[in-house]
Amino acid sequence: MRIDDAISQYLQHLRFEKGLTDISIDDYTEDFKIFLTFFPEIKTTDDLSEDLLSEFAFEQSIAGLKTTSVNRRIIALRNFFKFLEVENIKKGLIGDPIVLPKKEKYLPVVLTQEEIKSLLNAPNMEKAAGIEEKAILEVLYSSGLRVSELVGLTFSQINEQERLITVIGKGKKERTIPIRDEALKYLKLYLTEVRAKGPIYDRHHIFLTKKGKHINRQYLYNVIKRNAKKCGLDKKVHPHTLRHCFATHLLENGAELRAVQEMLGHVNVGTTQIYTHLTSKKIVDEYDYYRKNK
């Protein structure tokens, strides 16, 4: 179902079955408008996935929105997702409870470098699906791409010779990101051993489904969830987690804040500074661990 039609149906449900006032309906309408502004690639309910709420909560929080406003929007969207489940419009949207922010800016979940290594090594490389999953994970972690940017990645954006990815991000702003040799290696393996040998109905996008059509957000979410479970991660991991890991690990290894800001495509360096808090927290945690176990 088209996302606009689904939202319209939900708003009618709120108005006529729940008895909400015009003011409340207007608030909901504005929430949906903001949500779709963050995720312009969402065209139908098939493009929705469970991880969207966590990603949206983080993006709203670091944008400086008050905690009460963030929580209200997340609750409104979660209720919409429940409605889609009940009406059998879209299944699989409601999983673990969303952890609502308790601070004005809260810290996202980030994997340690050992955990990310475990996740990257989880795909079964003896299968075609595993080769694609490996390429997806490597490219995500190597470049810090947003979900929509990975899903929409095309051949024209990859400069293999210079080892660069060019992305048109939010606000139609272009940025260029280096891609690690390891990621490029598995991307080339996927293209030659999997993509080239399967059905191709989309010659524009890089990552395709088994049916030869380009992947969507839900497909990517399933890849992350499946491999996180396979390697036994007990943290809640979604596609945006690899973007957080990309930024945090770069800073842990001495990258300059401005350079990370440019690679992430953040307009304001203050947004990128959230990751310096993560690296500082790690130092404190390691110090506390040392004090308790020495």
Q: Are 264 and 144 in contact (CB under 8 A)?
A: yes
Q: Which of 294 and 51 is assigned the larger pLDDT?
A: 51
Mean pLDDT taken over the chain: 85
pTM of the model: 0.71
Digit-coded pLDDT (tens) for 274-284: 777 666 545 44
Q: Are 85 and 48 in contact (CB under 8 A)?
A: no
Q: Tally Cβ neighbours within 10 Å of residue 213.
A: 14
238 is catalytic: no
277 is catalytic: no
Digit-coded pLDDT (tens) for 112-152: 889 999 999 999 999 999 999 999 999 999 999 988 899 99
Selecting from 3.40.50.300, 2.30.30.180, 1.10.10.60, 1.10.443.10, what CATH number does the domain 113-293 have? 1.10.443.10
Q: What is the number of alpha carbons within 13 Å of residue 234 lying toward its C-beta?
A: 0
Distance CA(27)–CA(159), nearest Å, equals: 44
229 is catalytic: no
Q: Please state at what angle helix 274-293 crosses helix 239-252, rounded to 10 degrees.
A: 70
Catalytic choice (72, 163, 170, 205): 170
266 is catalytic: yes
204 is catalytic: no
Distance CA(234)–CA(221), nearest Å, equals: 16
Catalytic choice (90, 217, 240, 249): 240
The region of weakest confidence among 3-12, 14-23, 97-106, 261-270 is 97-106
Selecting from 3.90.550, 3.90.1690, 1.10.150, 1.10.3470, what CATH number does the domain 3-86 have? 1.10.150
Interstrand relation of 174-178 and 164-168 (parallel, antiparallel or unpaired): antiparallel
Q: Which of 86 and 170 is assigned the larger pLDDT?
A: 86
Average pLDDT estimate for 57-83: 82
Catalytic choice (238, 243, 244, 249): 243
**Domain extents in the chain:** 3-86, 113-293
146 is catalytic: yes
State yes or no: pLDDT of 287 exceeds 80.
no
The region of weakest confidence among 36-50, 78-92, 104-118, 224-238 is 104-118
